[in-house]
């Protein structure tokens, strides 16, 4: 998926043309991955914020480690 996006980037294909060039299933997968990334970013933000105020909390330390992996 990343390789295909890089190829399209070098050919300067705009994001609005992605569904036409790559097909609907690729674009749907891209949207799913992008959505999951946003959820992960939010969870990391909340966990890191909690660790900021309580850096010795083992539950948050383990959760942060798992999320980063």
Q: Answer yes or no: is 55 within a domain.
A: yes
Whether 4 contacts 30, CB under 8 Å: no
Does 40 reside within a domain?
A: yes
H/E segment holding residue 24:
helix 24-53
Structure tokens at 38: 């946003």
Question: Domain containing 50: what range?
Answer: 23-69
pLDDT of residue 23: 66
Residue 28 corresponds to which tokens in the numbers above?
């749907």
Q: What is the pLDDT along the chain (69 residues), one digit of tens a residue?
A: 666 666 666 656 666 666 565 666 776 777 788 888 899 899 998 888 888 888 888 888 888 888 877
Is residue 57 a part of any domain in this protein?
A: yes
Q: Looking at the domain assignment, is residue 33 inside a domain? A: yes
- Whether 59 maps to a domain, the answer reads yes
- Report if residue 17 sits inside a domain: no
Residue 16 lies in a domain: no
Number of domains in the chain: 1
Alpha-carbon distance of 38 to 26, in angstroms, equals 18
Residue 18 has what pLDDT?
61
- Residues 40-60 as b/e (b if ≥16 CB within 10 A, e otherwise) read eeeeeeebeeeeeeeeeeeeb
């Amino acid at each position: 998926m990343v390789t295909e996006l890089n190829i399209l980037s070098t050919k300067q294909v705009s994001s609005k043309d992605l569904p036409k060039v790559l097909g609907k299933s690729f674009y749907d997968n891209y949207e799913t991955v992008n959505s999951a990334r946003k959820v992960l970013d939010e969870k990391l933000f909340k966990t890191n914020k909690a660790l900021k105020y309580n850096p010795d909390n083992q539950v948050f330390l383990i959760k942060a480690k798992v999320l980063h992996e």
